Structure 1
């Protein structure tokens, strides 16, 4: 086409044949399987040498996703430069480490390669969403986000899953969805990038809250109330960041919230459950290799809400319990003592 370089699409993007998955935790490993099943040539980058060795030798991520085979055609490496020779990047790095990894990747990527955020959180130091971090660390690269109700082990095994894939350019979101989509992994395209990322961030904090309520034996009514009022907090922050209310009602909002707040398979819910039963945060984290993103996100949310002048009372309560030494019963009592308000208020 006129104005299009050889080998590029009319929109100026490279054809999508190769995918690099940066981060080999449970979710990154699962997404490597998804991309391979979708017909892409896949390389998976792992920070941990033992993960590289485990996948290369046994085709299994013993550390983060034991018992789930990694597709034999997925290559694994610990070298960012080797991983960067690709048409598409999926960043599956914990949010607090996203900036440093993306900065290390920047000099190795070809121009115009789309980068998809697959993390869920907010950076403590800046209050930025992952897409904002990536836009700064990888200038000139189209940025998208993948978020929704997903447990990594189910996705890795090919069980049916639906998820949202968002980019400011809806055509790019649709193109990426076509590239990685499968009958059992269904990405729904959106152009509401901040709305999708806000849902993914807050739901982890709300899952900790629901786990605490369960651990304290406060009943199913209380958990249902937390989920519903938590959804209002997602809407409130989403709007403040330029997102749309309807996005919070979709897969990346309500869908992810319900899944994460109702199963011990959720790292964040199970952490809250342990805290509600009297365990300390330090002891819980010392027993785990995987990261519960809601822990740092709670602190980041408190600072961001203050900066934006909005109320996120449930998120603030979780932050107080996790990071400020607040007593659980007193914090719950303070939440219950808040003034009555109209349900339609957001």
Structure 2
């Protein structure tokens, strides 16, 4: 008797083999689809019914988050007024395994009537959807993972992967950077990991001059609450840092010293436009709790490891 694990492994192998077929089937039509999207002045309108609709929603979300404006339009709702969302400046990307889904008829007709570019994705070359499409993306023949062809599994996996391939190809063409990505992902852990030091740092700097008496430097450390003080030269350039370790090392006669005599020279610093994730990694590797954000040698802010924790980075 087949075990659950054997069934699961068979399903995954079946879908993996289908993805290999899909990768090998890509050709000029895929390039044409990319060109259509790049040439559109508006959005990519995704649509599909049933399981294809769920995949269409995900592809729309992936496109929108990677620099290609996109929107999902439900085909049934489209027939009751939402066709007005699909304009001549848009390009439609319509999904249907059979290519004969009746609920798509009005949407397809709308694109033909108003000369809206249509990219169709289906498994049947002679289907209505692909025959009507300006660009037909044909899924390669592959059995559904259920074994009897009734549960959309392999077909939806291939369609989702094809959507990801379109999104990433467009993203790379647009030179979409992590900073751009963060613009559309300000919340959650992903947004936190893509935050910059400048987004999280404080500008109320615990800063003293090299000739500042330690009596005053201790007050600054206490008042600012970061547990450290940066030390700057006469030109305002950061030259050192005073930490609790420095205080312990100079405990004998501490109050008779200046900040420049107690400080650690050449502290670790980071640029304000660096990713906060890089700052966190630096603090963790060096077992420190603060980093000064420095630009052209001048301190612009300070980042504490607690700022990273509050932002949800760990």
Determine if the TM-score, normalized by the shorter chain, exceeds 0.5: no
TM-score normalised to the size of structure 2?
0.29
TM-score normalised to the size of structure 1?
0.26
Max radius of gyration: which structure? 2
